[in-house]
Amino acid sequence: MSADQMSVGEMLAATVPMAGTLNLEFLETTAERAVVRLPDQPAYHNHVGGPHAGAMFTLAESASGAIVLAAFGDQLSRAVPLAVKAEIGYKKLAMGAVTATATLGRPAAEVVAELDAGQRPEFPVRIDITREDGAVTGEMTVVWTLRPNAA
């Protein structure tokens, strides 16, 4: 299967081993929204029986990477997407499977215009982590950049 035939979720699972290790399920990956699910797996539980904070961080960061690839995949020939920084807040106890939903914090066209102008754009991706009952258990923001390739 060539890269252009591969879904964003399949591409991330193939190139980011941690996503495969956690058995992340890429449910939706578009330029507007990425939804990724972490199944309930005892091997990744914490001391209270829910998903470990590190597993939830990886889930949310993977959702942010999925939307970045979906929104800016057509720019990969000239720029590399890189996470610059991340902040996560754990709001409620997470139990069972959890889902991360990522959205871009700036319009993609604005980011590409900065890249076109020779800049190294930065943009936030916001992620909500929810339990199966819909309660938000965590919120994360990952700031990404598109680093132009060396000429």
The full set of domain ranges for the chain reads 8-148
pTM, entire model? 0.91
Q: What is the DSSP letter of 42?
A: G
Categorise residue 88: left if φ over 0, alpha if ψ from -120 to 50, beta otherwise. Answer: beta
Q: Does CATH place domain 8-148 in 1.10.3720.10? A: no
Grouping H, G, I as helix, E, B as strand and the rest as coil, residue 106 is coil
Give the count of alpha carbons within 13 A of 15, CB side only. Answer: 12
pLDDT digits (tens, 9 = 90+) for 101-149: 999 999 999 999 999 999 999 999 999 999 999 999 999 999 999 999 9
